[in-house]
Amino acid sequence: MSASDDIFILGIKMTKFGKHAELDTVDLASQAIIAALADGGVGMADMGVMAFGNLIGQTTGQAVQKQVGQTGIPVYNVSNACATGATALRTVVMAIKSGEVEMGLAVGVEKLSGAGLLGAGGTTKSDSNTWSPTGRYGAVGPIDGRIGTEAMPGVFAQIGMEYGHKYGGASFELFAKISEKNHSHSTLNPLAAYTKAMSLEQIMGDVMISYPNTRPMCSANCDGAAAAVLVSGAKLRTLSLEQQRRAVKISASVLTSDPYEEACQVLPNVNTLTRNAATKAYEQAGVGPSDLNLVELHDCFATAELVHYDNLMLCEPGGAVDFFESGAPWRTGKTPVNVSGGLQSKGHPIAATGIANVWEVAHHLRGEAGDRQIEGAKVGLAHVIGLGSACGVHILEKSGLGV
């Protein structure tokens, strides 16, 4: 791609994550959209396309347009589990890259406060009083809980434990320390759902959900939205110097699904598709893991963060435990990871997450992150995983324009 083909973030915003009892999904999405447009210095009339994600509530982009502007542009309502936000972003990137539009809006929103366990199958009542095999396994009852677990905390617990079995060193305490880091990071993030530091003892002593994940080691169900205005390089160059200076370059935008491997239909494999996405993203961006000043990765559970150090190649293969023990992913370390507090503390309003993590990185690249600013940040990476599976990786850089 020539320089003028680059795609930039012109405006981006996330709402405060947490409990928004008075706001519905349309309110939250509207809030994020209006703020992102204002941040970019543009309006709804400038948007050529909208990609919108709301996984659980199934609100459409059109419903939100009815509050913030019905301009007749195409709306893509996207759904890709926890990678929904990144998928919306990627959809707009593709639309701009195709040359069909110059500017577009990506939105993710979720109301998740009070939601319980996600993924668990529950009890299904059969109409008949005799066993009747149903479904693809010819099962006479629900499989979840009877043949392993389908609930998210347990699935991701096994993903982390499997890594531990393969390479060693992954104890309950190590996973809890990862959580301690993210809860500590969130104390500097006023938009996080939880902003209190937690001691290792508190984390390990909290309610066990699915060993080795206790409650604070699980992503926090909460409400929130995030929106981004994307612009083509050619269009950006016609805008003000200030807009050009604050723009953030999308050096790589990659989405993958899980390729077939032994065991992947038994326990989801979140490793290979992340590694594939990262490899492609580093290649697209022309940067390597050591160039990254910060990383926001999908720590839906403490056990997941560990494996993604390796999958994103932040460490040597098999070296995730050593990488963590070295202090590298703390905000003062070599490769700060989840300085926002991550999903465990900032929160995880599912469809918003894949844009909110891009906002976090962009915030630092613009030098606007206040107390939690990673000084001199020039390059960052945002990663999400949606089980099923989808992986989104975006690498962002300072625009280098308007100066």
List residues near another protein by CB under 8 A.
117, 120-123, 129-131, 133, 136-149, 151, 153-154, 157-159, 161-162, 164-165, 172, 207-213, 260, 262-263, 265-267
Please give the DSSP secondary-structure letter assigned to residue 315. S
Nearer CB in complex with another protein: 169/402: 169
Nearer CB in complex with another protein: 85/216: 216
Give me 240's structure tokens.
Answer: 């003000």
Provide the minimum distance between the beta carbon of 201 and another protein in the complex, in angstroms, as a whole number: 18
- Helix (H) / strand (E) containing 295: strand 294-296
Nearer CB in complex with another protein: 120/188: 120
Provide the minimum distance between the beta carbon of 125 and another protein in the complex, in angstroms, as a whole number: 10
Q: Is 286 exposed, middle or buried, given 0-12, 13-18 or 19+ CB atoms closer than 10 A? A: exposed
Q: How many CB atoms within 10 Å of residue 327? A: 11
Provide the minimum distance between the beta carbon of 266 and another protein in the complex, in angstroms, as a whole number: 5
SS3 assignment, position 3: helix
Provide the minimum distance between the beta carbon of 324 and another protein in the complex, in angstroms, as a whole number: 19
Provide the minimum distance between the beta carbon of 159 and another protein in the complex, in angstroms, as a whole number: 8
Radius of gyration of the chain (CA): 21
Provide the minimum distance between the beta carbon of 147 and another protein in the complex, in angstroms, as a whole number: 5
Provide the minimum distance between the beta carbon of 210 and another protein in the complex, in angstroms, as a whole number: 5
Nearer CB in complex with another protein: 130/290: 130
Provide the minimum distance between the beta carbon of 106 and another protein in the complex, in angstroms, as a whole number: 30
Sequential DSSP letters for 152-180: HHHHHHHHHHHHHHHHS---HHHHHHHHH
Provide the minimum distance between the beta carbon of 257 and another protein in the complex, in angstroms, as a whole number: 11
Give me 243's structure tokens.
Answer: 């807009």
Nearer CB in complex with another protein: 212/386: 212
Nearer CB in complex with another protein: 96/152: 152
SS3 assignment, position 90: helix
What residues have CB less than 8 Å from 82, skipping those under 6 apart? 55, 298, 300, 348, 350, 353, 354, 384, 385, 386, 387
User: Which residue do the tokens 């990137």 mark?
Assistant: 93
SS3 assignment, position 289: helix
Nearer CB in complex with another protein: 24/162: 162
Cα(106)–Cα(115) distance, rounded to whole angstroms?
25
What residues have CB less than 8 Å from 241, skipping those under 6 apart? 402
Cα(110)–Cα(170) distance, rounded to whole angstroms?
32
Nearer CB in complex with another protein: 137/375: 137
Do residues 340 and 329 make contact, with C-beta atoms less than 8 angstroms apart?
no
Nearer CB in complex with another protein: 102/258: 258
Give me 344's structure tokens.
Answer: 């465990």
